[in-house]
Copies of this chain bind each other. A is one copy, B any other.
Amino acid sequence: MSKKGKHVFNGKEYPCCASLTMGVIGGKWKTVILYHLKDEAKRYSQLRKEMPAVTERTLSLQLKTLEDDGIVKRKVYTTKPPLKVEYSLTKLGETLIPLIISIAEWGETASKT
């Protein structure tokens, strides 16, 4: 019995290529995170400052999900506290930049209407 999900990414099946993308960047915060990472690597604390509306827990979970999907990479610079950790886009993550920009632009235009 073949499943209908013809589109597979990172072990997950999706019924449509559009829903695959949404599985990767969907949810309340992932596009916002990617938007803040699109130009440069940032530290965890810096992301927190730039996204005050997201909780530690959620930011942490979403970053981990993005890492699992190969969109974001995590680099640790110190072994002892205070820790320094930087997040940045992977090669695959960079292919999402035009999409993230389009998403942000549509939102900007729509909010002016």
A: which residues have CB within 8 A of B?
Answer: 4-9, 14-22, 24, 26-29, 31-32, 34-35, 51-53, 92, 95-96, 98-100, 102-111, 113
Q: With A7-B111, A102-B98, A110-B9 as given contacts, are A21 and B31 in contact (CB-CB < 8 Å)?
A: yes
Q: With A52-B4, A111-B8, A111-B9 as given contacts, are A104 and B28 in contact (CB-CB < 8 Å)?
A: no
Contact A17 B102 (CB under 8 A): no
* A25 smallest CB distance to B (angstroms): 8
Contacts of A8 in B (CB 8 A): 111
Contact B15 A51 (CB under 8 A): yes
CA–CA, A105 to B95, complex, Å? 11
Copies in the complex: 2
Binding site of A, secondary structure by majority: helix, strand, loop or mixed? helix
Q: Of B6, B17, B32, which is within 8 A of A18 by CB?
A: B32
Most buried by B among A21, A32, A98, A102: A21
Q: Of B15, B22, B34, B35, which is within 8 A of A26 by CB?
A: B22
Contact B21 A110 (CB under 8 A): yes
Contact B31 A22 (CB under 8 A): yes
